[in-house]
Amino acid sequence: MTERVREILSWYSSDNPGTLTNLARILNHGRLGGTGRMVILPVDQGWEHGPARSFAPNPDAYDPRYHFKLALEAGCNAYAAPLGFIEAAAHDFAGEIPLILKANNHDLLADEKDSWQALTASVDDALRLGCCAIGLTIYPGSALRKEMYENLRRYGEEAKKAGLAVVAWSYPRGSQLSKEGETAVDVCGYAAHIAAEMGAHIIKVKLPTEHIEQDAARKVYESQKIPIGTIADRVRHIMQCAFAGRRIVVFSGGAKKEDEKALFEEVRGIRDGGGHGSIIGRNSFQRKKADALKMLDTIMGIYEGKVK
């Protein structure tokens, strides 16, 4: 085990050996294994956005087995998906890649101002399928956020007792936030901190913009001259909000970008700002496999420092 991985594990000293072992499995796997950086393939978009919107651009992606193969061939640290997608192929790929079971999900079949997440899998499911971690989404800013916080707390406690790691998708949204506010730097920092306070080992947030949503926060950012002018500045601030960088934070790739250069520039900003990596779904599986592998190769090369 590398000294960098040992250092990261030391941040979670209250956890039991089982949880630390599973966290180490993620940190040590794949091309970036041992570096403290990570690239995770998440495929919950079929549920979150609908199957055609998610997979029609690359029909091979309708098959759950495709995503296991993509994650393995690319050298990802882990693969995250809802219960059905993992169940459909876990037997064929048992022990080959660390798995994260997405234990709550949300659909787009109803118009809503305040988003929610239904509990769709259990800690027992994660153990049965050989997963290293469970993952849950919370929506800071939603009127329904308190129930989601309580579910994360309850599932997190159960998972840790069972020796699993906990991953939190912390995505601000809801009737009290503007659309621009969902990726505002003050709001994303707040979301990262909430997930850390809830006991998450790995925190997933969106890459923040320069926008500041809350007037009270704007006064502090201006008076304290908090740097937010570049991607690296904003990532560095998110890391500060996650216990001064002592929690693993990975950043969402978002919707598919036709311009790969823009995506690579974001990855450079994450690297230079001290972020731990990327969790990239649609930008991966909505491309043909050869194109996705080439793109992921470049992203990992940026994190390794081999690609400028």
In this structure, the strands spanning 248-252 and 133-138 are: unpaired
In this structure, the strands spanning 104-105 and 118-119 are: antiparallel
- Burial of 234 from C-beta contacts in 10 A (0-12 / 13-18 / 19+): buried
C-alpha angle 36-17-24 in degrees, rounded to nearest 5: 20
Q: Is 260 left (phi over 0), alpha (psi -120 to 50) or beta?
A: alpha
Please state, in angstroms and rounded to a whole number, the distance separating the CA atoms of residues 257 and 114: 27
Please state, in angstroms and rounded to a whole number, the distance separating the CA atoms of residues 87 and 236: 37
Please name the residue ranges forming H helices in 212-288.
215-223, 231-241, 260-272, 282-285
Catalytic residue among 69, 102, 146, 204: 204
DSSP 33: T
DSSP β-bridge partners for residue 250 = 204, 277
Please state, in angstroms and rounded to a whole number, the distance separating the CA atoms of residues 234 and 31: 26
Please state, in angstroms and rounded to a whole number, the distance separating the CA atoms of residues 204 and 137: 9
| CA neighbor of 29 nearest in space, from 72, 89, 67, 66 | 72
Annotation says 204 is catalytic: yes
Cα-flanking dihedrals φ and ψ of residue 252, to 5°?
-65, 145
Q: What Cα–Cα distance (Å) separates residue 180 from each residue in 172, 197, 302?
A: 11, 25, 28
Residues annotated as catalytic are 204
